Amino acid sequence: MDRIPQELALDILSRLPIPSLVQSKSVCQDWRTLTHDQLLVNKHFKQMVENDPSFILQIMGYSIQNQLYFGDLSSDPNDGNVTMIAKKLTIPPLLNFHLVSSCNGLLLLRATHPSFELCIYNPFTRDYIELPKLSHHDGVRGFGFDPTTKKYKVVEISYKRTTPFTFSHRVVRFGMRRSHQTETSSSLIESEVHILTVGSPTWRNLGCFPFRFMCQKSQVLANRKLHWRTTTNLIMSFDLATEQFKEVPRPDVITSNSDRRFHELVILRGCLSAVSFDGNNQELEIWVMKEYAVKDSWFKQFNIGAYVPKIFQSNYQCHSSSNSRFYLPKNCIQVLCLLRNGGILLQYGNKAIVFYDSHCRTFQDIQVTFEGISSCFTAVAHVASLNSTDTFVDA
C-alpha cells in the first residue's frame, strides 16, 4: 500500500462496489483511513451516478422478516440483458422494522414493535443511531441531506382533524395562498409538520400545512428537496435548507379536475418524474421534468403497456397481454429506475422485478436470488453513495 500513490489508491477504491469497498477496510490501517476520506466518498458517488444504481431490498414474509439485501444491478449495453445479485446484509438489533426511506446509502428505519422508534442505519459500516421519539405514529416521513449545514434531516407529517378557522389561521406560517386551500370542509384534515436535525435531542414543530400527502414506497429527493403528491393531485416540495413547502408545477395533462391522476413520483437519472395511468389504453405514462421547477420542461418520455410477470402467470387462466391489465392493477406496479441502456426497471406486486426495453417495447423478467429464499420482497431504496463512519456519527 505504501508504494501506491494516494491519488491512485483513491481512484481504485472509488470504482469498487460498496460491499467490496467496506471489506477493503480490513486490508490495512491505511485503507481503513482512506474509506473515511470525504474525497473518496465524493469520487465513489460520481462513479455510482455514472453506472446503474444499486438497491437495498427488504424481505417481507411470514416465515422470514427483518432481512435486508444489497442488490447489485448490472446491464449489458450490447444485448440489453440485466442481472441482479442480492447479498445479505447485517441488520440492526431491532425486533421488527420497516424501511422508510434512504439518502446517500443511509437507511431510515421505523421499528414497528414495541416502541415505534426511528433509527438511521448504515448497512455497510453497521453503525446506527436511535432518533428521539414522537408521540404519534401515523403519517408520512422524509429523509434527506441539507448541504448548507452538512446535516441530515428527518421530516414527519402527521394528520389530525380540525376546524376551518384553525386551518386558515395556522397555514399562514407556510405562506400558502388561500387559493390553495382546496380541501376545505366542515371536518378538515390538518397536517402537522415536525422536523429533526439528526444529532439534535429534540424535534421541532413547524406548524400545520393545508394538504394531505399520499404515501410513497421510496425516497423522492431532487434538487435538495423532498417531494410528495397530495390527495388533490398536486406536487409539493419541502426545501431541506429553508424548511419551507412549495408547489412544483405539474404536467398540463394532469389536473385536479381530470380523471388522469398521479400513480407515483420517482427520480429518473436525477430528474423529478411523475408516473400516471392512462385508463383509455391501459398504459403507464412516465413524465420527466428535464429542468427542475420549469413547467414547460415536462415531457412524456415513456408509455409502458400491460404485462404479467412469469411468477404471476400460473395463477391466471388467461395470460395474453390484452387481458393482463385485469389481473395486475396499476397500484401493483412501481417504477424503480432508468438504466444506462435506456431501459426501465419495474417492480410488480412485491414479487417480481422486470426490465422494460423502451426501444423494442419488450419485457424481461429479472431473476433475483436471495441465498435460497423465495419469499416476496420490496425494493425500497436506491443506494446512491457510500457514507463514511465519521460522517454518519457526526451527522
Q: Structural domain boundaries of the chain? A: 52-161+190-314+328-382
Q: Is residue 158 pLDDT above 70, yes or no? A: yes
**C-alpha distances in Å from residue 177, one per residue of 162, 180, 245:** 19, 6, 12
Q: What is the pLDDT of residue 374?
A: 57
Domain 52-161+190-314+328-382 fold is Neuraminidase (2.120.10)
Q: Using one digit for the tens of pLDDT, what is the confidence trace for 254-284? A: 765 566 777 889 988 889 999 988 766 678 8
More confident residue, 296 or 53: 296
Residue 318 burial class via C-beta count within 10 angstroms: exposed 0-12, middle 13-18, buried 19 and up: exposed
What does the pLDDT read at residue 77?
64
**How many angstroms from the chain centroid is the CA of residue 157?**
17
pLDDT at 56 over 70: yes
Cβ-proximal residues to 43 (8 Å cutoff; 6+ apart), any chain: 10, 11, 14
Dist CA 8 CA 6 (whole Å): 5
The span from the CA of 251 to the CA of 300, in Å, is 9
313-372: per-residue pLDDT in tens? 765 544 444 444 444 566 688 898 888 888 899 988 877 889 999 889 999 998 777 765
Rounded to whole angstroms, the Cα distance separating 31 from 21 reads 10
Q: CA angle 168-174-175, nearest 5°?
A: 80
Sheet holding 127-130, edge to edge: 96-103, 106-113, 118-122, 127-130
Q: What is the pLDDT of residues 11-50, one digit of tens each?
A: 877 777 666 776 777 777 777 777 667 677 667 666 665 6
pLDDT in tens, 169-221: 344 344 443 334 444 443 456 789 999 999 999 999 999 888 888 877 677 88
Reported pTM: 0.80
Parallel, antiparallel, or unpaired for β 96-103 and 106-113?
antiparallel
| 157 and 139 Cβ atoms separated by less than 8 Å | yes
| Sheet architecture: strand order including 333-338 | 333-338, 344-348, 352-357, 362-366
